A and B are shown apart, each in its own frame.
Chain A
Amino acid sequence: MKRETDYGYEIKPVYTPKDIENLDYAKDVGDPGSYPFVRGYHLNGYRNRVWTRRMTAGLGSSRRTNELLKQYREMGQTQGILVICDRPSAMPIDSDHPVGRREAGVLGWPASSLLEFEELMDGIPLTGQSITLLGSSAMSSIRLAYIVALAEKRGIDLKEVHGSVTEYPFCHTFGQTDNLPLDLNIKLWLDSSEYIVRNRMHMRSGILSQHLQESGGNNAQALAIEMAMLKELLGLLVNERGLDFDDLALLPYELVSIGSRFFEEIAKVRALRRMYAKMAKETFKAKSDKACQLLIAVHTSGRTMTYQQPLNNIARCAIQTLAGAIAGCTAIDNACLDNAYAEPSAFAARMSLNTQHIVSDETGVTDVTDPLAGSYFVEYLTNNVEAEAYKILQQIEDQGGMIAAVKKGYVQNMVKESARQKQKEIESGERLIVGVNELTIPPEEDDDIPIQAVEASDSEEIAKRMETWKKTRNLPLLKEKMAQLYADAKKDDEHTLMPSIIEAVKAYGTGGEIMGVIRKASGFHYDPLEIIDCPFDL
């Protein structure tokens, strides 16, 4: 068995003061609530507020997902909702698109219009809990417009809504499928981010290392790429959109993937807080403490959940949840026991939420902030993963930064090579996985678990509904709003499209239509799959 960190550094049998002899507590670590925030942002930690314990929802129709959210609420999930969109709306194409209709409601809710969002949120409060909508970068500005439109309809002050509905423009690089060219994704991300900051909304934008790590990247790469993304994207908001860095402090949030390598996962999160604080202060000259604090949420690692003996995943999930809790985070959502099969069943969801509550309410983990600080091993690992991440960050900078490195395929190749390495280590038995390369059982003896799935008939039903509903909209109004959007999208990149996207959303323009019109105005085919034509006379 290999005794190395997941990024390839040898691990010794014992650690002593010598391993951290250069560590200056006041300067390099500090108390919780003090720069450089290795130990977290609040002296009282979880005594102030326990992390948001939530589960991902989204499958089948918006109504079905709405029922699921209500079910989760009954299971004790009251601090926030987390909803993922389906494959077509991630792209985005509509549910009634010839290709989209085959997969409407697959892997998420059909997030294609304000109507779907209204159905999703029916009877669910928009305030008093965090609203998080995941999907892809391309739909971010449209999801933000849903929030604006629904808040207006319900007569809610927009500043009262908190959560996150927008995502970083590099999602596509790490398997979160949308089909918008990177430059256009960056432009639209800047538009939605600027809107959030200028309107002082309490909405975050996900700039996430979880996707790249779930694609096979290691812990040091996750930190390096996260920092490279933050540096470039926040830099663009400061330099191109003229925003003050301290005002940007409430924008980014990071979702960290936490696997089973317990101490390394905790060290990774501690290192990330320090790296971000230093960048905020040294590169962006942050004035307030708040501006040096990156909001960090945790997703337990779906990649580590096995198909074989799925009940073993309950143990993995518990270990990872404990690691996330000890590391210090604002929210956790779990990949759970059926992760290698399907979207979470009610059985798996309850198991997962209960796991989080067992960790928060039974273990004592919420009593003490950053309890592993001062451990020779954990402080050493924190320094080690940070140093390795800085080396990789320098390589990305040498490529010209994150955008340039992605365009050259440099970052993608780095992650692919790491994924291949991990596969090799498992096949050679250097890394052991119970039920996979040790303690295996014949497939016919394996545990049976309930599986939640979407059938082709469910997809077709969603598609047909959209087809019929589209004709019932106020078409003259829709055409007017689309013409406005088209005209605005023809203007230069600094002209924000958020106001016209919001108008188009309120007129019940769909994701496929809105993004199609923007694509067309930017010189691309209306349909990312080049099958259907633009239905508007533009």
Chain B
Amino acid sequence: MSNRRRIKVLISVIGLDGHSTGAEIVSRFLMDAGMEVVYLGIYQTPEMIVSAAIQETVDVIGISSHASNYEQIGLLIDLMKKDNLNDIPVICGGTIPKQYAEALIKKGVSKIFPPQSTSESIINYIVSSVKR
């Protein structure tokens, strides 16, 4: 990645969920892999995440979710479409059951990483999706 701009990733927990450990661990290993990470932390609404993505001109958005209301992620995708941000891939991690994961992929989420996904798989996916 030396001859091009560092990949910039926004990482956020969505909604009122307080399970931040996953998002923090992912942020840390993405930074260790040479990426720039904008970590928003907890209490982020879909609106706040979109506005941060615009301000920071990020390449990828990573959403962590451990709460059972996945509509928030759907709402984020809707808002991004409205703001013509469809080209920014949204990836999700957390405790998202298969059937909800499938619905979110249909909605426009690029990839969902279930719990215990390796750092390598997440890093590789981000690198390849940004290249495209």
| Chain A residues packing against B (C-beta within 8 Å) | 59, 87-88, 90-91, 99-100, 102-103, 106-107, 172, 175-177, 179, 215-216, 306-308, 340-343, 416, 419-420, 423, 426-427, 433, 436-437, 443, 448, 451-456, 459, 529
B69 contacts A103, C-beta separation under 8 Å: yes
B114 contacts A103, C-beta separation under 8 Å: no
- The residue of chain A having its C-beta at the shortest distance from the C-beta of B32 within the complex is A420
Cross-interface CB contact of B71 among A175, A419, A456, cutoff 8 Å? A456
- The residue of chain A having its C-beta at the shortest distance from the C-beta of B100 within the complex is A453
Assembly CA distance A433 to B116 (angstroms) = 10
Assembly CA distance A285 to B29 (angstroms) = 47
Chain B 23-55 near chain A by CB (<8 Å), digits 1 or 0: 011001100000000000011010000000000
Stretch among B3-11, B12-20, B77-85, B124-132 lining the A interface: B12-20
Q: With an 8 A cutoff between CB atoms, is B2 at the interface?
A: no
22 contacts between A and B (CB under 8 A): A87-B17, A88-B16, A99-B15, A99-B45, A102-B75, A103-B16, A107-B17, A107-B67, A172-B18, A177-B42, A179-B43, A308-B114, A340-B115, A342-B68, A343-B68, A419-B21, A419-B24, A420-B25, A426-B116, A433-B116, A443-B114, A453-B97
| Chain B residues packing against A (C-beta within 8 Å) | 15-21, 24-25, 28-29, 42-43, 45, 67-69, 71-72, 75, 95, 97-100, 114-116, 118-120
Given contacts A307-B95, A433-B116, contact A99 B20 (CB under 8 A): no
Assembly CA distance A454 to B24 (angstroms) = 26
A103 contacts B67, C-beta separation under 8 Å: yes
B115 contacts A175, C-beta separation under 8 Å: no
A176 CB, min distance to chain B CBs, angstroms: 6
B116 CB, min distance to chain A CBs, angstroms: 5
A337 CB, min distance to chain B CBs, angstroms: 13
Assembly CA distance A99 to B45 (angstroms) = 8
A99 contacts B69, C-beta separation under 8 Å: no
Which B residues lie within 8 Å of A175 (CB)? 18-21
B16 contacts A454, C-beta separation under 8 Å: no
Cross-interface CB contact of A419 among B25, B42, B119, cutoff 8 Å? B25
A87 contacts B21, C-beta separation under 8 Å: no
Assembly CA distance A316 to B120 (angstroms) = 27
Assembly CA distance A106 to B120 (angstroms) = 32
A453 contacts B21, C-beta separation under 8 Å: no
The 9 closest A-B pairs by CB, nearest first: A177-B18, A87-B16, A456-B71, A307-B115, A106-B69, A436-B116, A175-B18, A307-B114, A451-B97
Cross-interface CB contact of A90 among B16, B98, B100, B114, cutoff 8 Å? B16
A459 contacts B69, C-beta separation under 8 Å: yes
A102 contacts B69, C-beta separation under 8 Å: yes
Given contacts A99-B16, A215-B21, A306-B115, contact A342 B95 (CB under 8 A): yes
B79 CB, min distance to chain A CBs, angstroms: 13
A454 contacts B69, C-beta separation under 8 Å: yes
Contacts A341-B95, A456-B71 aside, 4 further interface pairs with beta carbons under 8 A come to: A90-B16, A103-B16, A106-B16, A455-B71
Which A residues lie within 8 Å of B99 (CB)? 451
Which A residues lie within 8 Å of B68 (CB)? 59, 106-107, 342-343, 452-454
Given contacts A175-B20, A436-B116, contact A87 B97 (CB under 8 A): no
Which B residues lie within 8 Å of A307 (CB)? 95, 114-116
- The residue of chain B having its C-beta at the shortest distance from the C-beta of A451 within the complex is B97
A91 contacts B116, C-beta separation under 8 Å: no
- The residue of chain B having its C-beta at the shortest distance from the C-beta of A106 within the complex is B69
- The residue of chain B having its C-beta at the shortest distance from the C-beta of A179 within the complex is B43
B43 contacts A529, C-beta separation under 8 Å: yes
Which B residues lie within 8 Å of A177 (CB)? 16-18, 42-43
Which B residues lie within 8 Å of A342 (CB)? 68, 95, 97
- The residue of chain B having its C-beta at the shortest distance from the C-beta of A456 within the complex is B71
Which B residues lie within 8 Å of A90 (CB)? 16, 18
B118 contacts A87, C-beta separation under 8 Å: no
Cross-interface CB contact of B119 among A59, A427, A453, cutoff 8 Å? A427
Among B18, B19, B20, B120, max chain A CB count under 10 A is at: B18
Which B residues lie within 8 Å of A451 (CB)? 97, 99
- The residue of chain B having its C-beta at the shortest distance from the C-beta of A342 within the complex is B68
Assembly CA distance A216 to B19 (angstroms) = 11
Assembly CA distance A399 to B32 (angstroms) = 29
